[in-house]
Structure 1
Amino acid sequence: MLTQLFFFLVLIALLRKFAWGPLMETMQKREDYVSGEIDAAEKSRAEAEKAQAEAKEQLKQTKQEAQQIIDDAKSAGAKQEREIVEAARREADRIKESAQEEIANEKEKALQALQDKVATLSVQIAGKVIEKELSTQDQEKLIDEYIKELGEER
């Protein structure tokens, strides 16, 4: 029994040296490898979260810049619209004023021409009246003729 105990202890020592030691060493290496992989994965996850946060911030900033550009374009468009409307209003006022001046000039010319024509007709009527003494009926007839003549000339 002592021999068996002795061989059993030798067997345990040999197993410990050649089987258990290498097995434990392999298990330790495996544990270290898994631990390293977990650490690397954790580090990668942290970097990915950081990159995601930076991307979100850049996207937010880009959206703000785009909105600012849109707002600037809208205000520039509104300003340009006001300027165009104001320029058109000034031009319309200038054209209206010019047309009113032209109408006034044409009216003045027409009145002057009418006055000249009336004066000429008055002189002609007076000349004919002086040439012959007309009766009331002849005077009315003569006035009607000149009024018709005046109407035809217009």
Structure 2
Amino acid sequence: MLIDASWLIIGAEVGGFRAGDMFFALASFLILLYLLKRFAWGPLMNKMEERENHIANEIDTAEKNRIDAEKASTEANEQLKATRQEAMTIIEEAKKAGQQQEKTIIEAAHEAAARMKKSAEEDIAREKEKAIEALQAQVATLSVQIATKVIEKEINAQDQEQLINDYIKQVGEER
């Protein structure tokens, strides 16, 4: 019995397709798809999903870091402003303290000058009194000397005036 296999060859005049080869190729393709799905597609998809998750985590981390950096920058700016304000306050306080110290020094200098002036005035008054006392002593001595001279000789008004002038000159020369 011969089997007519002509139906298995389609389009034999052009080279045709053989049904057995087609079934074998189809079966091989389906087995290959199954093996790819089982051993390659699953691990490949897992790796792709891991990669996707990793990238999503990196993006989230980068966003979080950006937000943290903005927050740190804002805090640093606020701290810088506070530090500048504190520095300005310290400078103002130092200026006020300097002005107060300047006033204190000026007042102390005025007080010292007033004490020195008072002391000098007191010294001048003492010296003046000493001079007055010395002058009074000299006048008393002169008076006694003049009285002695007058008693020794009687003189007229012109001689008396001449005698007083001579003694005044004599006292002026002694000084």
List aligned pairs for 1:129-140, cutoff 5 A.
129-134=150-155
After alignment, is 118-127 or 70-79 more displaced? 118-127
TM-score, normalising length: structure 2:
0.73
Aligned-residue RMSD, C-alpha: 2.4
Spell out, residue by residue over 1:66-105, the C-alpha distance to the aligned partner (whole angstroms, 9 max, x if none).
Answer: 2222221221121122112102201211221221132123
* Cα distance in 1 between the residues matched to 2:90 and 2:41: 72
After alignment, is 33-42 or 58-67 more displaced? 58-67
Aligned to 1:115: 136
Q: Which amino acid aligns with 2:33?
A: I
Query: Taking every aligned residue pair, what percent have the same amino acid on both sides?
Result: 61
After alignment, is 29-38 or 140-149 more displaced? 140-149
Aligned to 1:65: 86
Residue aligned with 1:133, SS: coil
Residue aligned with 2:54, SS: helix
Q: Which amino acid aligns with 2:121?
A: Q
* Cα distance in 2 between the residues matched to 1:141 and 1:61: 94
Spell out, residue by residue over 1:26-60, the C-alpha distance to the aligned partner (whole angstroms, 9 max, x if none).
Answer: 11111111111121122122222222322222232
1:24 Cα offset (Å)? 1.9
Matched residue pairs, number?
A: 154
Matched, 1:78 2:99: yes
* Cα distance in 1 between the residues matched to 2:114 and 2:157: 55
After alignment, is 111-120 or 139-148 more displaced? 139-148
Aligned to 2:8: none
**Structure 1 alignment gaps of length 5 or more:** none
* Cα distance in 2 between the residues matched to 1:127 and 1:21: 153
After alignment, is 127-136 or 98-107 more displaced? 127-136
Q: Which amino acid aligns with 1:103?
A: I
Q: 2:167 aligns with which of 143, 146, 149?
A: 146
* Cα distance in 2 between the residues matched to 1:22 and 1:123: 146
Matched, 1:26 2:10: no
* Cα distance in 1 between the residues matched to 2:64 and 2:106: 62
Aligned to 1:15: 36
1:10 Cα offset (Å)? 2.7
